[in-house]
Amino acid sequence: EPEVTQTPSHQVTQMGQEVILRCVPISNHLYFYWYRQILGQKVEFLVSFYNNEISEKSEIFDDQFSVERPDGSNFTLKIRSTKLEDSAMYFCASSERRGNSPLHFGNGTRLTVT
């Protein structure tokens, strides 16, 4: 069964450094998302992406964050200058459609900012 893949599985970085989290969504899916989950807490929406542009973003997704689909397969989340509170599990997800289509999540990247 096709799956969403994320790399790396774990990233440790120092405060103020830039990080790029990578995702390969399922190939025939059209909608892509980033969610994050601080340890033991809820899954929070960050941003959705469709047709090569951001379709929605939450208030968490400020100017420090950006997303890109640099080629036909990868979908990246960049955090420009990491803060301690950015430490979390970041999940990429994709879906065929909106509304009545399930989200398929990757296994996540655990980001630790020291």
Partner 1 sequence: QQPVQSPQAVILREGEDAVINCSSSKALYSVHWYRQKHGEAPVFLMILLKGGEQKGHEKISASFNEKKQQSSLYLTASQLSYSGTYFCGTDNSGNTPLVFGKGTRLSVIA
Asked if 50 and 33 touch (Cβ cutoff 8 Å), the reply is no
Work out which of 26, 48, 87, 113 binds partner 1, going by CB under 8 A: 48
By C-alpha distance, which of 104, 42, 111, 40 is closest to 79? Answer: 111
Instruction: Read off the tokens for 81.
Output: 């200058």
| Chosen residue from 5, 22, 29, 45 binding partner 1 by CB under 8 A | 45
CB nearer partner 1, residue 25 or residue 108: 108
- Shortest approach of partner 1 to residue 45 CB, angstroms? 5
Query: Binders of partner 1 among 59-88, rule CB under 8 A?
Result: none
Each residue 13-42 as x (binds partner 1 by CB under 8 A) or -, in order, gives --------------------x-x-----xx
10 Å CB burial of residue 24 (0-12, 13-18, 19+) is middle
**Phi/psi of residue 67, each to 5°?**
-130, 155
- Per CB under 8 A, residues contacting partner 1 are 33, 35, 41-45, 48, 55-56, 91, 98-108
